[in-house]
Amino acid sequence: MSATIIDGKQLAQKKGEMIKTALERLKTQGITPGLAVMLVGEDPASETYVRNKQRACERMGIHSRLIRLPTTATEQHLLDHVVQLNEDPHIDGILVQLPLPVHISTETVIRAISPEKDVDCFHPLNVGKMILGETGFLPCTPHGILVMLKEIGVTLSGKHVVVVGRSHIVGKPVGQLLLNEDATVTYCHSRTENLSSFTKQADILIVAVGRANLITEADVKEGAIVIDVGMNRVNNKLVGDVEFASVRDKAAFLTPVPGGVGPMTITMLLENTVYAATKARAVMA
């Protein structure tokens, strides 16, 4: 068997067209959604992510504002910016690029962002709403994965999903979103014993660890759907957590790295920004 490769770039473009339509509707009301991105320090990976987000905004006609602070910025300095952005009527979404320098509390900064502008869906209020299945923001990468799974037409109800990784950004919320879709979810992490015995049971295997080629063909059930979230730089090349060449021969569907989950993450961020602007500013017909 050779897996169908899920083209995240193409799907992101398709979703992008829908976002454009929503943006045009907002334009007729004189509304241009605005996204503020805060970047502290000079981490090269963060710089790249922020640049990609800004470019995506520009392509779509979303106003983007970059607030760049030095590594030496204090927590209070960052919080002052957050307060200003919370009150700024031209800004609908606020994103703080992680990781922050160690002297700044990520929790404190995230809690300071207005939940109405929390387009990353990291604020505890929005996380809670997501767990309860209430309408609101959905976290970008997990939502992108859910959209991908729906796009390939898989029935999620009753499927065994195994998530490797339990971060607040990817692992935990993606499992939660799929639980809300009636999947049976197993979480694995660095303390899991005999990881392979779990991954081999997965109808849908989602890997979000950050270790190149952690999952090989021996860890995957024949005909599984494999979603590779990992982004690792190996010899200056971007690779996932899944050994693409071998798993391709065993899985039914597989996401590539790059060109899989990554483009979907940015698209969902744009969608959240448009959602925030619509909720805050649009006059509903």
Report angle CA 51, 55, 60 to the nearest 5 degrees: 150
Q: Are 12 and 267 in contact (CB under 8 A)?
A: yes
Query: What letter represents residue 202's amino acid?
Result: A
Residues facing residue 184 across a β-bridge: 160
Choose which of 195, 238, 252, 280 interacts with ligand NDP (CB under 6 A). 195
Per-residue mark of binding to ligand NDP, 86-115 (x: CB under 6 A) = ------------------------------
Choose which of 176, 199, 265, 273 interacts with ligand NDP (CB under 6 A). 265
- Tokens 């014993």, residue? 193
Query: What letter represents residue 218's amino acid?
Result: A
CB atoms within 10 A of CB 149: 25
> Is position 10 annotated as part of the catalytic site?
no
Please report whether residue 190 would count as binding ligand NDP according to CB under 6 A. Answer: yes
CB of 257 to ligand NDP, least distance (A): 7
Please report whether residue 209 would count as binding ligand NDP according to CB under 6 A. Answer: yes
Report angle CA 167, 33, 172 to the nearest 5 degrees: 10
- Tokens 């599984």, residue? 224
Identity of the residue, 91 or 208, whose beta carbon is nearer to ligand NDP in the bound complex: 208
Q: Which stretch binds ligand NDP (CB under 6 A): 12-20, 60-68, 76-84, 183-191?
A: 183-191
Site for ligand NDP in 217-256 (CB under 6 A): 229-232
Choose which of 108, 167, 216, 246 interacts with ligand NDP (CB under 6 A). 167
Query: What letter represents residue 281's amino acid?
Result: R
> Is position 219 annotated as part of the catalytic site?
no
> Is position 159 annotated as part of the catalytic site?
no
* Pairwise CA distance, residues 238 & 229, whole Å: 12
CB atoms within 10 A of CB 13: 12
CB atoms within 10 A of CB 202: 23
Identity of the residue, 267 or 278, whose beta carbon is nearer to ligand NDP in the bound complex: 267
Binding site for NADP(+): what residues are annotated?
165-167
Footprint on this chain of ligand NDP (rule: CB under 6 A): 141, 164-167, 169-171, 188-192, 195, 208-211, 229-232, 261-262, 265
The annotated binding site is made up of 165-167
